[in-house]
Amino acid sequence: MRRFANKSEVKEFDSLTALDWREKCEKFTGVLLKKATDLGYDSASLSGALKVIQADPDLASVAFVPVGAYVTTLEGAPVWIVVLKWEVPTSPRAQLAHICVYAFTQREIRRVAFATCG
């Protein structure tokens, strides 16, 4: 999971802040879904995974934005790896300094792994 959190394209979003994070979350979600569609990946399953993430009670009190989605396999089955930047929003200028990574099966949209830095 660490290799996905440390990708250079994820680091591009180090300056994200909690300001308007819900709008950013919606925008980034749309971009990830479009990229998945454009690349011929199963964007419906990615959409399902992102909905599960957005409903995660552990994220209820944090600002978060999905910044990456990757396709890989687990025991021969396709999975989505979704990378989020997040922070407890102490102010609108709070930088989304933390990273968490979810892994979901594409067929059942079942969470099979989770890791976070904090």
pLDDT in tens, the chain (118 residues): 555 555 666 678 889 999 999 999 999 999 999 999 999 999 999 999 999 999 999 999 999 999 999 999 999 999 999 999 999 999 999 999 999 999 999 999 999 999 998 6
Quick check: 64 and 98 in contact, CB under 8 A? no
23 CB neighbour count, 10 Å cutoff: 10
Position 2 scores a pLDDT of 57
Please say whether the beta carbons of 63 and 94 come within 8 A.
yes
E strand spans, the chain: 63-74, 77-87, 98-105, 111-116
User: What is residue 48's predicted lDDT score, i.e. its pLDDT?
Assistant: 98
Q: Residue type at 103?
A: A
Q: Give CA 62 to chain center in angstroms.
A: 13
Instruction: Supply the pLDDT for residue 67.
Output: 96
CA distance linking residue 89 with residue 43, whole number of Å:
30
What pLDDT shows up at residue 9?
67
Instruction: Delimit the domains of the chain by residue range.
Output: 2-116
pLDDT at 66: 97
